[in-house]
Amino acid sequence: LMQLFRPLDMLGTVYRTIRQGLTDMDEMFRLLDTPAEVTDRPGAPPLAVGRGHVRFEDVHFGYEDGREILKGLTLDVPAGQTVAVVGPSGAGKSTLARLLFRFYDPQAGRITIDGQDITDVTQASLRAAIGIVPQDTVLFNDTLKYNIAYGRDEASEAEVVAATRGASLDRFVEALPDGFEARVGERGLKLSGGEKQRVAIARTLVKNPPILILDEATSALDSRTEEAILATLSAVSTGRTTITIAHRLSTVVDADRIVVLDDGRVAEEGSHAELLRRNGLYSEMWARQQAEREMAEAAE
Ligand code: ATP
């Protein structure tokens, strides 16, 4: 009998692994057509999106009983502003993004967008309002155009071209013999990590959501590419409510507002300079990362 259950169990594992990675959550939902753990309330209205004011109010959440990951998280992201979330590994940074996208519901507290509790509105409308640029982008074995327009089938050619320019992918496309019709993915053109991320950025621009979640790539990009991508992302996030999940501090130095998550709560908040002056967790993490960088450089 166990034999029978094993494949099912494996599917579950694959699915959980994918979800944990926060890999293109939109896509995975479509691909797997998952019976969501989270369902729409009968008669739930769509989210009435304004400018995208996001609030986490005393949010408690754990994936499993008896192990709380977010322990009363309160975070206010005013419409159009950018907040960088940093914190030790396992602090719950990706978890808060998953909750905003409503992969799970909080056990207590609430998350609101423009004053509406996200559990009161349809998931489709919620997800349409949020764009995600994940760490790793899943590309389909299809044309570049399909991959960029993905999620908005009605996107016009002009919109795709504009998004490509916004993501600084235009030169890359122009250099391809087949241009937008070039096939990508496993059976086609292989894109570099940076190029893939630009496809994700272009895709987000086509979607044009008021709210953005940027899950920074941890290490895959060389520093020049990373700098260029960060500049593109910062242009894209202008005027949109943006939550940047940063796994390294070097990428948030210039952020106006950095929120330090520790053990499921906001431990500190401020600009880089303010946080260094506090001599708390942030300055400790900064010192450690600097030391690591120096060691790595010395080893080269
Ligand atoms: P990192 O910077 O290392 O990516 P993070 O701050 O993003 O860390 P999360 O991914 O939010 O951390 O994870 C927070 C905690 O929740 C971790 O202890 C992790 O093991 C646990 N966790 C994450 N996903 C799941 C899951 N699907 N089921 C059970 N526990 C999970």
Residue nearest to atom 15 of ligand 1 (CA): 90
Percent of the chain with pLDDT over 70: 86
Q: What is the best residue among 20, 135, 262 to mutate for testing ligand 1's pocket, by most ligand atoms within 8 Å of CB?
A: 20
How confident is the model over 158-189, as pLDDT tens digits?
A: 999 999 999 989 999 999 999 999 999 777 78
- pLDDT band at residue 134 under the 50/70/90 scheme: confident
Index of the ligand 1 atom closest to the CA of residue 22? 10
- pLDDT band at residue 34 under the 50/70/90 scheme: very low
Strands 130-133 vs 211-215: parallel, antiparallel or unpaired: parallel
pLDDT at 221: 66
How confident is the model over 194-233, as pLDDT tens digits?
A: 888 899 999 999 999 999 999 876 555 677 777 788 888 8
pTM: 0.83
> 54: which residues sit within 8 A by CB, 6+ positions away?
75, 76, 77, 100, 111, 112, 113, 211, 241, 243
DSSP state of 76: E
- Residue pair 282/289 in contact (Cβ under 8 Å)? The answer is no
For 195-237, the DSSP string reads: HHHHHHHHHHHHH--SEEEEE--SS-S-HHHHHHHHHHHHHHH
pLDDT at 33: 46
Q: What rounded mean pLDDT belongs to the chain? A: 85
pLDDT at 17: 47
How far apart, in whole angstroms, are the C-alpha atoms of residue 68 and residue 95? 11
